Amino acid sequence: MENLFSFYGYRFHWLNILDLAIVIFLVVQLYRLLKGSLAFNIFVGLLIIYLAYFVVQYLHMPILSTLLQSFINVGLIAIIIIFQPEIRKFLLVLGKKAPLSKDSFFTKLFLPDKFKSYKEEENIINEVITAVARMAGSRTGALIVIANTYRVKFDTASSIAIDSNINAKLLESIFCKGSPLHDGALIIVGNKILAAKVILPVSENPNLPTRIGLRHRSAVGITEHSDNLAIIVSEERGTISYAQDGDLIQDISLEELKVKMYEVMVDGYA
C-alpha cells in the first residue's frame, strides 16, 4: 500500500486519514449528544480511566495495568447500561435518516401512495393550532404531546383515558383552569386524543433556562428519549414553545408551530 506522507518516522496512508476523520466525527457527535446531561460527566470519567490505562502501560506499572484492564474489559457493558437513554436517542435520530425510514427520500420515491392524502393530518393540525392560539390568548397553561406510537410510555395510574377525536373546543375545555383534567399533559396519537392528566418524566438537563417551570421541563423530559413533539402554552406569559429530541424552542409564533407540526405529522411522520 503506497504511503501518502511520513511524519516523524510514521508513515501515513489516505485510509489512515479517513480513519482519523471518522473518529473525530464520531467524537464530535458523541459530544453533541451528551452535552448538557449528567451522562457527560460520566463519559469524561470513563475517558480519563481509558487514557490512564495507556499511561500505566507505557510506564510499565503491572498492578495498575491489570486493574484498569479488568475495568476496560467490562467497560462496553457498563457503557450500554449507563448510557442506555443516550444510545436510544442516537438510534432514534439515526433511524429517521435511514434509507427505509418513513421520511427518507427512498420511501417517498418508491411508496408515493402513502404521501398523497394529508387531509386528516391537516385537519388535526388546524384544530390544535386553533386551540393553542385561544389558550395562549387567555393565558391558559397547556401541554400537548404528539406521539408517534400507541406504545408511548406514561403513568397510566394517574392519567385519564379519553380515546376521542381531536377537536379545538375539546382541547380548550380539558386545559380550562376549572377542569379536573387541566393538570398534566394531553397525549395525541394518530387522529385520537389518547389520554389527559398525564404525568410525564421531568428533564434533569442543567442547561435548561432556570426560569422555566415544571410544564416545560416535562415537555423536554418526554422528548429526550422518545420520538415525540411536545407543545407548551405558558400560563404566566401566554407564550408558545415546543420540545423535540430533548431541545426546547421557546417563544415561537403560531406559524412557526404550524410549520413544525407539518414537518412532524405530514412531511416526516415523526
- With b meaning 16 or more CB within 10 Å and e meaning fewer, what string describes 126-151? ebbbbbbebbbeeebbbbbbbbbeee
pLDDT at residue 93 in the model: 59
pLDDT tens per residue across span 105-145: 444 444 444 444 467 888 899 999 999 999 999 999 999 99
% residues pLDDT > 70 (the chain): 71
pLDDT at residue 110 in the model: 47
pLDDT tens per residue across span 199-257: 888 988 888 888 899 999 999 998 887 778 999 999 999 999 999 988 999 999 999 99
Sign of CA dihedral 256, 261, 262, 264: positive
pLDDT at residue 88 in the model: 65
Between 111 and 90, name the one with better pLDDT. 90
Question: Which residue matches cell numbers 435520530?
Answer: 93
CA distance 39 to 83: 7
